[in-house]
Amino acid sequence: MALPQLSAEETERRGDEIYERQIRPQVEAENYGKIVAIDVESGAYALEETAVAASRHLQAQHPSAEVWFVRVGHRALHHIGERYIGAPSLRECR
């Protein structure tokens, strides 16, 4: 595996931009909670249930990919607590 060529900030900026502009409209409706691995150089992506599976899928096709992850429908890949975008908290459901 090669060392990253981009800074963490540039990888984040590119990954978020590619997701919002190209990928989100295609995947959001039917893939809530799944993980998107994005090659920030080519724009190629893989959609899987886990980050490991998405990364393996993407890197099988793009071995030198600089990968950025996004969880469909969430602000972050991982979360602490119970809040999701657009979803009520567990307390509100009780």
pTM of structure: 0.77
CA-wise closest residue to 72 among 33, 23, 26: 33
User: To the nearest whole number, what is the mean pLDDT of the chain?
Assistant: 84
pLDDT at 88 over 70: no
Element (H, E) at 11: helix 8-18
pLDDT beyond 70 at 87:
no
Q: Which is more confident, 94 or 53?
A: 53
Q: Where are the domains of the chain?
A: 8-93
